[in-house]
Chain A
Amino acid sequence: MIINFLFYFFSFILLLSSLMVIVVQNAVHSVLFLVLSFISSASLLFLLECEFVALLFIMIYVGAIAVLFLFVVMMLDIKTLNNKKDILKYFPFGSFIGIIFLTEILLVVTDTFKTNPYINSSLFNYYTNWLDKIDSLTELESIGQLLYTHYVLQFLIAGNILLLSVIGAVSLTINTNHTTKKQIIFKQLSRTYKNVLIV
């Protein structure tokens, strides 16, 4: 009951925020709505008991990619244009295309999920051992157990790749000799259109 309620709640937020990503004029607000949509989809995954994927979502999409977007948007200093007048102009055609896509998707979904896709295979009627389910590990625990035993070498290689990327990034950006020309970021950012001398 409460899980159902939470599911509808988060999916409503997800739909709303992903709509707002497109609709909102300000780019910074749009990125913030993107973060909200990521967080709500992560909580949907939590409800489905996929903790690991949900945590990955939050860490990678919110922690890295969305913040990167935010930085870029803030640095680019995009002007907000007021194009609300155009919405009425584009609305009929846009909604027409949208309805077409919606019907296509609905047709495919109703067609595909009508029957059990496993019904023809030998895995049909594969019974669930409920005894295993009682004593089960959580996803994080099982992934950790596999990672440190079964895939220990792959884990070590991944660590090596991280070390390599740190070393590579440092060696590409470190400034040992001062003869090279470098970017002065403050100067670059403080340039505006009015200050530029146009001949």
Chain B
Amino acid sequence: MTTEILLFKNINILPELFLGISLVYFVLYGTFLSMKKNFPLIINSCVFLGILILLMTSFLLVNDSLDVLECTILSNTINNDFLSLTSKLIISISSSFCLLMMYTHLNYQKINQFEYILLFLFSILGLFLLCSSNDLLTSYLAIELQSLSFYVLASFKKNSTFSIDAGIKYFILGAFASSLFLFGSSLIYGVTGTINFSDFKDLFFWIFPGSILGFSNLEQYYENQDQDILLLALLEKFEHSQDKLLSQYDGNILRYEIENTKLYENSVYNTEKLWIYPWITNSILDSIHDILEMKSNKLTLTVKELDYLHYWLHFVDITDNMLVEKIFNSYYLHTPENPSDFCDNGAFDEKNKTELSKWFFGSFSLLIATCVKSSDFQELYVLNSSFDTNLLQIGLTFILISLFFKLAIAPFHIWSPDVYEGSPTSSTFFFAIVPKLGLFVLLIRIFYSSFYGLIDNWRYLCVTVAIISIIVGSFGGLEQRKLKTLLAYSSISHMGYSLIAFNSGTFEGIQMLLSYLMVYVFSGLCIWSIFIIARLKNNHSLKHNKDLTDIVLLNKTNKMLALVFTISLFSVAGFPPMIGFLVKVGIFLTAIESSMYFLALISILCSVIATFYYIRIIKIMYFEKVIVGKLYYPISSNKGTVISFLFISLIFLFINPTLIILITHKLSLLLLN
């Protein structure tokens, strides 16, 4: 085994290393500063230090030399392709936005521990590693790093019962989901003997292209096709493969195709077509000798193979291969009734034709088996026929469910409204937006890059879960009076929409998934940052605006903020002059293109229903008549700048969606190379 240690020349994990090392210095900084007697207001400097670290990390990411071909490093456990690079960039920039938005809120909430920012940075490190992980172990560790810091962030307000409650709920369910992930990966390791995604890709995409299910589909396919066309196609293929040695994969495929065409069983006139190609007979004559020599050493032939060989022996000059025939006779005692008759007189009656065609394809497939490099026909046969994917499917289902738990997709969503409501708003801001992208990148890596051959199996679960998630997200949000819970339900339905794009299994599906997630991050940042910086003027400084009715007078106090809030809510709901419309339409189109009409219909209807609760917020903001209300403090200018940037990007991307479409196009192209 060649061990590969950190080589500095292709060190692509420099951003992660920088983040990890600066975390250690951050601990030192915070500890020395908070040890002082007079309790300094440490959180401000820590927030800006965190933003600085994140921006420097994104600088390193931008400067990273992108290798397109060999992007896996550290003995294949880290994959630094364009997808991971872009998603890391988005994560770091959006989380620095988060930090910038939340720091006054932290001051008012009297959270003055440097650990808060430190935990944020830890979770961002986990998300970075999650985006670029290329095996199950690394991704598990990254998920743990990310979610452990989330548990602590959720329960950070120690004097609030809700916060502790949310933290414990998050911890128990998150640990449960992690254990499911571990169980699934142990099953997969038990079946395949590897945990590396590129090995899975080699195994299930190249060598075994499809499960047992796939092969049975293939058989049906061949039965329905025109046999003559198939025969010609096979001959063409075989002609091309004459020049070079076939790879193992090609040989397998060709063998299966020949077996499944059933040409040598049910068609009678194929032999005449075969004679058109004289090179076949020549090449077979040349190489059959080698086959026999090779095979006679091993003596591990199946009855079928012996059948083929025996037929062959009556055609070649037997005096050459006396020894060989002796060997075969000793192992294959059945002696057929002199088949050389029909060779001599040249008259092909019906029965002989079938025999001949049978022989031909027998020798054909044997020849192919010899062309294959490993050339152990029997071993290939064993590997191909006895590979059972049931256990693998169970493992994949476990992994899928655990990631659905982490993404809070219905029916695994029960924790999310409680946790979002209970944990401090600044933490919820972060939970709701940033980790979704990283987890979806992991999902794409597992289910598209490595287990795409089993798409027929995992797709059903994904489709069901997507429908349930959209329905739950749309109907569950209708009853909510609290803004955070409502946004939690909104995020559930959005994850359902992205799951539709995920299970389409097409190139456009990935493209629309990534662009939907990007837009989700943008608009989520916009909504949550308005939610967090709009601070009520009231006597209880610790009370935050939680109910829907708290935003009654936002239009009166801050017209611009109310307008931006409205526009971003419209974008999330999917109204036309915003980017949210385009990506939602794209998702429905991918669903329709991959013939999931029912799913598209249900999701469109539910999208209409979900619009109700977005519009209700706007209605409360603009058209509610109230006698008493609460006013808001004005916001500072730097936050206004960031929010207006996000707001303009929502509209600008609708006018010029090429930017996001091009980036996601490149992402999906490089992913599916």
Binding site for B on A (CB under 8 A): 120-122, 145-146, 149-154, 156-158, 160-161, 163-165, 167-168, 170-172, 176, 179-180
Contacts and interface: CB of A to CB of B under 8 A. Distances in A.
A153 B145 contact: no
A161 B141 contact: yes
20 contacts: A151-B77, A152-B74, A153-B13, A153-B74, A154-B77, A154-B138, A154-B141, A161-B141, A161-B148, A164-B119, A164-B149, A167-B119, A167-B122, A168-B149, A171-B113, A171-B116, A171-B156, A172-B156, A176-B113, A179-B159
Contacts of A152: 5-6, 74
A150 B3 contact: yes
Contacts of B142: 157
B313 interface: no
Contacts of B1: 150
Interface stretch (B379-387, B484-492, B593-601): B379-387
A160 B130 CA distance: 14
B155 A172 contact: yes
A151 B61 CA distance: 23
A116 B74 CA distance: 38
Contact of B125 (A150, A160, A176, A179): A160
A121 B78 contact: no
B115 interface: yes
Contacts of B159: 179-180
B6 to A, nearest CB: 7
B145 A167 contact: no
Interface residues of B, number: 40
A171 B46 CA distance: 15
B20 A156 contact: yes
B129 interface: yes
Contact of B115 (A156, A165, A171): A171
B118 interface: yes
A122 B379 contact: yes
Nearest to B137: A154
B250 interface: no
A157 B122 CA distance: 11
A171 B6 CA distance: 34
Nearest to B118: A167
Interface in B368-393: 379, 382-383, 386
B5 A164 contact: no
Contacts of A156: 20
Interface in B22-49: 23-24, 27
Interface in B122-148: 122, 125, 129, 137-138, 141-142, 144-145, 148
Interface of B: 1, 3-6, 13, 20, 23-24, 27, 74-75, 77-78, 113, 115-116, 118-119, 122, 125, 129, 137-138, 141-142, 144-145, 148-149, 151-152, 155-156, 158-159, 379, 382-383, 386
Contact of B141 (A149, A158, A172): A158
Nearest to B159: A180
B383 A172 contact: no
A158 B144 CA distance: 9
Contacts of A163: 23-24, 27
**Pairs of residues from A and B, 8 with the lowest C-beta to C-beta distance, nearest first:** A168-B152, A171-B115, A149-B3, A157-B141, A122-B379, A164-B122, A153-B74, A180-B159
A121 B650 CA distance: 58
Contacts of B129: 157
Contacts of B20: 156, 160
A42 to B, nearest CB: 21
Contacts of B383: 122
Nearest to B77: A153
A68 B75 CA distance: 39
A165 B151 CA distance: 10
Given A149-B5, A152-B5, A121 B382 contact: yes
A161 B74 contact: no
A165 B148 contact: yes
Chain B, interface SS category: helix
A7 to B, nearest CB: 27
A150 B383 CA distance: 29
B157 to A, nearest CB: 11
Contact of B145 (A122, A164, A170): A164
A146 to B, nearest CB: 8
B316 to A, nearest CB: 31
A153 B149 contact: no
Given A150-B3, A152-B74, 16 more contacts: A120-B386, A149-B3, A150-B1, A152-B6, A153-B138, A157-B129, A158-B141, A161-B148, A164-B145, A164-B148, A167-B122, A168-B148, A168-B152, A171-B156, A172-B155, A176-B113
A151 B1 CA distance: 13
B122 A160 contact: yes
B138 A168 contact: no
A159 to B, nearest CB: 9
B117 to A, nearest CB: 11
A160 B145 contact: yes
Contacts of A121: 382, 386
A157 B115 contact: no
Contacts of B382: 120-122
A150 B138 CA distance: 12
B145 A150 contact: no
A157 B23 CA distance: 13
Given A152-B74, A156-B20, A160-B125, A180 B145 contact: no
B145 A157 contact: yes
A121 B384 CA distance: 11
A111 to B, nearest CB: 19
Given A122-B382, A160-B125, A160-B145, A153 B78 contact: yes
Q: Which has the most chain B C-beta neighbours within 10 Å: A153, A154, A172?
A: A153
Contacts of B141: 154, 157-158, 161
A160 B22 CA distance: 12
Contacts of B3: 145-146, 149-150
A148 B640 CA distance: 49
A168 B119 contact: yes
A94 B149 CA distance: 47
Contacts of A151: 77, 137
A172 B152 contact: yes
B300 to A, nearest CB: 10
A114 B354 CA distance: 44
B74 A180 contact: no
B142 to A, nearest CB: 7
A153 B145 CA distance: 13
A160 B13 CA distance: 15
Contacts of B137: 151, 154
A120 B382 CA distance: 9
A170 B27 CA distance: 13
Nearest to B114: A171
A117 B158 CA distance: 56
Nearest to A171: B115
B115 A161 contact: no
Q: Which has the most chain B C-beta neighbours within 10 Å: A146, A149, A160, A180?
A: A160
B366 to A, nearest CB: 19
Contacts of A158: 141
Contacts of A168: 115, 119, 148-149, 151-152
A179 B158 CA distance: 12
Nearest to B382: A122
A176 B74 CA distance: 43
Contacts of B23: 160, 163
Contacts of A176: 113
Contacts of A149: 3-5
A157 B1 CA distance: 23
Nearest to B125: A160
Nearest to A173: B158
